[in-house]
Structure 1
């Protein structure tokens, strides 16, 4: 085994140990050392981006996520989703939209990407597109209340009380607390 390979695996084990012990800063440093050995390593880039995000260092996490997708654009829909999620969290909706769409190109059944795309489209005031994305999310995750909640809010904001009421009735069957919250927020009874 070459020294480079040995050093890489030693650093990887160190990073995993730090993660196991909850020492995120130390793990980020170990992933950085891995990247010093292999600057375009997908595992190290994805891992450091995740750790940096957990540490609240979003801009650095975004840089690593962008580097990851630029070097490995078809590796994983999750890579694009993670970048989109970080961008959306930073209020960069216009940049997050194409990243969510690319994630969906790679995996059309990635329900959380449909949900994220829906949220971004709401923020970009493209409500018809947001409705379509949220409907797709609810088709893929029919028992998750999140897409249903956002969809009901969009309908209520558009003054489409009938559609919002249908969703509230639907949610009463499996998420009564969310249905009650929507009733309270929208003033609509099922």
Structure 2
């Protein structure tokens, strides 16, 4: 099969997987994602979609492996960075912090990710780092100040 034809087939399967997932058919979506990966083993969208399905089904180790495969293909893939960090926030907070820091570095204007990072740092008793992250987030968009934990609001609003 030619490379162009393979790529086209992979894209068609990817669209089918996304449609199946949108219609709550995770079994069909997972099957299509796996077919995409047979054709294109470095397809970050397919790895990410598979990760979401595994996470929804409580298979966290498989979800994490799929997110890692997506990140091997694109280390700045925001969706995979965020989803894996969310998955690990309780079980491996240090890894979750590392992933969120990478996400912030990839998109320094994303206040949502900065708030998540700041909250995780605060929860790990890393108050100085949390304050710095909250300060940066508020500098990007002052309207998020009410979302910053109360103990940090005064110091980050200066």
When the two structures are superposed, what TM-score results if normalisation uses the length of structure 2?
0.79
SS class of match (2:136): helix
1:20-69 deviations in Å (ceiling 9; x for gaps): xxxxxxxxxxxxxxxxxxxxx42332111100111122233223223322
Question: Is the CA contact (8 Å cut-off) linking 2:10 and 2:40 kept in structure 1?
Answer: no
Partner of residue 55, structure 1: 23
Partner of residue 32, structure 1: none
Are positions 1:170 and 2:129 aligned together? no
Question: Is the CA contact (8 Å cut-off) linking 2:42 and 2:70 kept in structure 1?
Answer: no
Partner of residue 155, structure 1: 121
Partner of residue 42, structure 1: 10
SS class of match (2:69): helix
CA distance in 1, matches of 2:104, 2:18: 27
CA distance in 2, matches of 1:75, 1:148: 28
Higher relative contact order (CA 8 A, sep 6+): 2
Are positions 1:145 and 2:111 aligned together? yes
1:60-108 deviations in Å (ceiling 9; x for gaps): 3223223322x12424222212222333344432211111111111122
Question: Is the CA contact (8 Å cut-off) linking 1:52 and 1:60 kept in structure 2?
Answer: yes
Question: Is the CA contact (8 Å cut-off) linking 2:36 and 2:43 kept in structure 1?
Answer: no
Please, which of 85, 91, 114 is the counterpart of residue 118 of structure 1? Answer: 85
SS class of match (2:152): coil
Q: Which moved more, 1:126-135 or 1:161-170?
A: 161-170
When the two structures are superposed, what TM-score results if normalisation uses the length of structure 1?
0.67
Gaps of 5+ in 1: 1-40
Q: Which moved more, 1:175-184 or 1:48-57?
A: 175-184
Gaps of 5+ in 2: 1-8
Matches within 5 A, 1:1-190: 41-69=9-37, 71-123=38-90, 125-184=91-150, 187-189=151-153, 190=155
Report which of the two structures shows the higher radius of gyration computed on alpha carbons.
Answer: 1
1:151 offset after TM fit, Å?
0.8
